[in-house]
Structure 1
Amino acid sequence: MKVICAGFSKTGTKTMQAALKELGYNVYDFMENYKYLGNDWMKIFGHGGTTEDFYRMFENVDAVTDVPACCFWDEIHKAFPDAKIIFTTRNEQAWFRSWDHQWTRNTQPMFSVMRLLSPTLYRLNSFIELVVEVMGVKQKKHWLQPNTYNKLLARMSFRRHNAHVLLNAPKDKLLVYNVKEGWEPLCKFLGVDVPSKPFPHKNVRGSIVEEALAKDPVLIRGQREFLFTAAAIAVLVPFGVYKTVNYFRS
């Protein structure tokens, strides 16, 4: 482990993942943590974890970004004390607008139906709900409208996380960074050359949802399961009604 990105979700974490990948790092973002380390995280969420656990999980990973890793940045750093820490920052109002927009997109009623009809999406959603709980955000589920959450507690979680990083991260290993600053401060901190490519800008207005649905193997499998189940229901329900009606007519 060389780089721990400790910034809260919606502070440019997807941009950081893309930038670090461009610099040649093997990066675990949210989906990698879920796909490859999901069982380990479930154990940590339920029973806790040790420094040895985090070392085993990330010994062959160069960098981590986004949740759940950012919530455990200090524990990961105990396992890799030589790792550098990048704390991505964002104005609270801008952060909250982006967070709220992403939340609304991710909790549309259609996604709730898809999760019910796909075992893959159901498992992923269960993991996400635990991550949200770990982040300190309380939510309430609804069927015919997006899930709601306690907005005050979300803001407080953001503030607590930021304060914890700034107070406890070792200053000689910490970069306080806004992704709008581009390549120069990031590459200087990491001791690498500045790429010739433009600095990436990912998840603009929550576009990561559409990108993931189109490209991520887990989500693609989940969509196929949903379509198969929905098609089966569309065939079997009318057939069942037909057979029932005929039974009572006979």
Structure 2
Amino acid sequence: MKVIMAGINKTGTKTMGAALTILGYEVYDWMENFWFIGDDWIKEINDGIKVESLRRMYKGVDAVTDCPCNAYWEEILEAFPDAKVILTVRDEDDWYKSLIKQFSELDMFRLRLVSFTTYTGYKMFKYTQHATRFLGNARHWPWQKNRLHNEEALKRMFRKHNFYVQQKTPKDQLLVVNTRELDWEVLCEFLGVPVPNVPFPHKNKGANIMQELRATKPALHRIDLEFKISMACFAGVCAFGAYRLSPYIPFQRIKAMFGF
């Protein structure tokens, strides 16, 4: 492990994941954490984070970003004490608005529907509830809407998190940067790597990441396939039920009623 992104969600975590990938790091972002070690994370969060488990989970991984890693950054640093820590920050009013917009997108009917009609969708729902627990997300069933703490509580958590990271991380291993000032020069100087000859990525601006994730992540491809299978099975059951009930349906009376 070389880099731990300790910035809270909606402080450029997707941008950092993309930038570190361009630099050649093996990055575990939110989807990678779910797809490869989601069951491990649920167990660790429920039973207590163990350093030896984190070393096993992240063997061969160079960098982590997004939740739940930003909530347990200190435990990951304990497991990999030589790693560098990046804390991205932004104006807390802008951060709060962006966070609420992101969770509103996750409340889309289709996403809630696949959470209880597909196996992988339900697993992602359970993982997400554990991974975002530190944000106060209290949704217990897939058909419920996301519920976060009130604005004051979330902003207080945001301030405390940023202050704690700066107090507990060795200064020579920490980069604190505002998302507006994040670029190749700042990042590469801190990491001690050459600046690549490509534009700096800016991901999930406006909290519209789901469309891009659906096009690139295998977990969401699996969910799409399972959803189609579920809907086909549902349609088949309905058709069979209609066939079995057809002798008892008064078609002639219905036709006469509507003038057919």
Q: How well do the aligned residues superpose, as a CA RMSD in angstroms?
A: 2.0
SS of residue matched to 1:59: coil
Aligned to 1:193: 194
For residues 88-120 of structure 1, what are the alpha-carbon distances to aligned partners after superposition, in whole Å with 9 as ceiling and x for unaligned? Answer: 111111111111111011112221112211111
Q: How many residues were matched structurally?
A: 248
Map 1:42-53 onto structure 2 (within 5 A): 42-53=42-53
Aligned to 1:209: 210
Give the whole-Å Cα distance in 2 for the aligned partners of 1:142 and 1:232. Answer: 20
Aligned to 1:112: 112
Give the whole-Å Cα distance in 2 for the aligned partners of 1:135 and 1:128. Answer: 11
Q: CA deviation at 1:75?
A: 0.6
CA contact (8 A) 2:125 2:142 kept: no
Give the whole-Å Cα distance in 2 for the aligned partners of 1:61 and 1:183. Answer: 21
Give the whole-Å Cα distance in 2 for the aligned partners of 1:157 and 1:141. Answer: 25
CA contact (8 A) 2:102 2:207 kept: yes
Structure of larger gyration radius? 2
**TM-score, normalization: structure 1?**
0.91
CA contact (8 A) 1:132 1:138 kept: no
Give the whole-Å Cα distance in 2 for the aligned partners of 1:110 and 1:148. Answer: 18
Map 1:94-243 onto structure 2 (within 5 A): 94-139=94-139, 143=143, 146-152=145-151, 153-181=153-181, 182-243=183-244
CA contact (8 A) 2:29 2:66 kept: yes
Aligned to 1:9: 9
Give the whole-Å Cα distance in 1 for the aligned partners of 2:219 and 2:112. Answer: 17
Q: CA deviation at 1:141?
A: 6.2
Higher mean C-alpha deviation, range 69-78 or range 179-188: 179-188
Give the whole-Å Cα distance in 1 for the aligned partners of 2:234 and 2:196. Answer: 52
Uncovered stretches (5+) of structure 2, i.e. residues with no partner: 251-260
Q: CA deviation at 1:180?
A: 2.7
Aligned to 2:39: 39
Q: CA deviation at 1:186?
A: 1.0
**TM-score, normalization: structure 2?**
0.88
Give the whole-Å Cα distance in 1 for the aligned partners of 2:10 and 2:176. Answer: 15
1:210 alignment partner AA: Q
Q: CA deviation at 1:161?
A: 1.7
Aligned to 1:61: 61
Q: CA deviation at 1:244?
A: 2.9
Give the whole-Å Cα distance in 1 for the aligned partners of 2:164 and 2:137. Answer: 17
Higher mean C-alpha deviation, range 239-248 or range 188-197: 239-248
SS of residue matched to 1:4: strand
Give the whole-Å Cα distance in 1 for the aligned partners of 2:71 and 2:146. Answer: 23
1:80 counterpart = 2:80: yes
Give the whole-Å Cα distance in 2 for the aligned partners of 1:226 and 1:51. Answer: 37
CA contact (8 A) 2:2 2:84 kept: yes
CA contact (8 A) 2:115 2:142 kept: no
Q: CA deviation at 1:129?
A: 1.0
Q: CA deviation at 1:135?
A: 3.5
SS of residue matched to 1:71: coil
SS of residue matched to 1:150: coil
